[in-house]
Structure 1
Amino acid sequence: MKRIRWQEFLMILFGSFVLAAAFYHIHVQNNLAEGGFIGIALLVQALFHISPSITTLLLDIPLILLGSKILGRQLAFKTIIGATSFSVFYSLMERYSPFQINLSQHLFFAALLGGVLVGFGLGLILRYGGATGGDDILSILISKVSRLSVGKVYFIFDVLVLILSLVYLSWDQVAYTGFSVTVCAYITDWVMTYHRRKKTESAYI
């Protein structure tokens, strides 16, 4: 049991690293937005020049604390790991990363690559029992008090954030971001269910 807990911890950290790397090197460097709290953080950065590593934590912490009372301490603890490690990794890359991935003339490819990498990182975090931040908990809480599924809440929240992103991005950039979010959702589901499918397939061999 102890080994499994360490595995969960390490995989959540790895997922957060992939997530931070994809957002900074693909989305931010190529002027793509994002849904959820990270999308809000990118909007705040564009308007007020505050690093997303700070904004995401300020948005996440109150909802994580609220979620711990309603959804359980274990989910809250793993969410804190995911949110804090994402913030740390993003801050380090923002300050020290020498890599520049300029795909501004190929936004379709940037959106596709960003969606795949972000979906992979998110999928790992969710697959090992964590969450990416307070927006995940907010979606779960809204779903519990409404007739909407968690997926529908995610979608509505993302659409609202993307509309707000028009303040600093063009329609084309927001449209490509929408494509990236769609790819991300597919890859996230694939990563989360891959292990389950492999176990089912092995049972028939």
Structure 2
Amino acid sequence: MALMNNMLGIWNNNPARHSRAEDVQGILCGTIIAALGLYFISTVGLLTSGIAGLAFVVHYWTGWNFGLLFFLLNMPFYILSIKRVGWDFTLKTFLSVALTSLLVNVQGRFLTISSINPIWGAILGGVLLGFGLLALYRHRASLGGIGILAVFIQDRFGIQAGLVQLAFDVVVMALAFTVVGPSVVGYSIIGAVVLNLFVLINHRSDRYIALR
């Protein structure tokens, strides 16, 4: 009984470490929430920042499956992730991206939204993505993407990671003008700002100390 309680994290004697069961439920819940956020964004025909934003641009441009694009576009960053933060983080991130890609594809079978205001869809999508990312960060995982490359460039060339991320998002939004109208880009920027502010305010490594 004591072993089962410890595995499930009900009475975890070490508050600075997650049990494997805690990691599983954290990653599962984080990906479900993130996928729901992406579903809101896609339902109103918007896009977001990062690799997900680039996947949306290619999706709108070609009609290819968004979930598959999101999964494939993240693949090159796993090599940097292994070198930068190790196998544990990389494997959790790979699993998180795979689950999110799958959930985005199947979610329409279980949830149908007939009408939603684009601004409200952008805000809801940004907040839900923020919650999903926060859950993943707290279990040493992420949704991959440009953040890994940004840290690598910062270490290698001294360019601030935040500037690299910002530059990438500017390029994504500029590309968006080739596939969607200015109003869609404007709503998408609102959602991206909501997402980044949420993560900026709520994610601090010195406030949350769980290690695994």
Task: Place the TM-score, normalised by the shorter chain, in its bin.
Answer: 0.7 to 0.9
- The corresponding residue for 1:33 is 47
The answer to whether the 8 Å contact 2:80/2:149 transfers is no
Say if 2:6 is the partner of 1:6.
no
The answer to whether the 8 Å contact 1:127/1:191 transfers is no
Aligned counterpart for 1:83 among listed residues 79, 84, 97? 97
TM-score of the pair, normalised by structure 1: 0.84
* Distance across 2 between alignment mates of 1:23 and 1:128: 21
The answer to whether the 8 Å contact 2:89/2:141 transfers is yes
Report the RMSD for the aligned CA atoms in angstroms. 2.2
Stretch moving more, 115-124 or 67-76? 67-76
- The corresponding residue for 2:200 is 189
Aligned counterpart for 1:23 among listed residues 38, 50, 58? 38
- The corresponding residue for 1:68 is 82
Cα offset for 1:111? 1.8
Compared CA separation, residues 183 and 98, structure 1 to 2 (3 A): closer
* Distance across 1 between alignment mates of 2:151 and 2:105: 28
* Distance across 2 between alignment mates of 1:137 and 1:194: 16
- The corresponding residue for 2:112 is 99
The SS at the match of 1:180 is helix
* Distance across 1 between alignment mates of 2:27 and 2:56: 22
What are the residue-to-residue correspondences of 1:123-202 with 2, within 5 Å? 123-193=134-204, 196=207
Compared CA separation, residues 92 and 127, structure 1 to 2 (3 A): same
Cα offset for 1:194? 10
Structure 1 unaligned regions, length at least 5: 198-205
The answer to whether the 8 Å contact 1:123/1:189 transfers is no
Structure 2 unaligned regions, length at least 5: 1-5, 10-17
Cα offset for 1:80? 0.8
Aligned counterpart for 2:67 among listed residues 44, 47, 53? 53
How many residue pairs were aligned? 193
The structure where helix makes up a greater share of residues is 1
* Distance across 2 between alignment mates of 1:69 and 1:196: 26
* Distance across 2 between alignment mates of 1:19 and 1:46: 20
Compared CA separation, residues 93 and 192, structure 1 to 2 (3 A): same
Deviations 1:95-118 (A, max 9, x none): x13411522xx3222222221111
* Distance across 1 between alignment mates of 2:105 and 2:99: 10
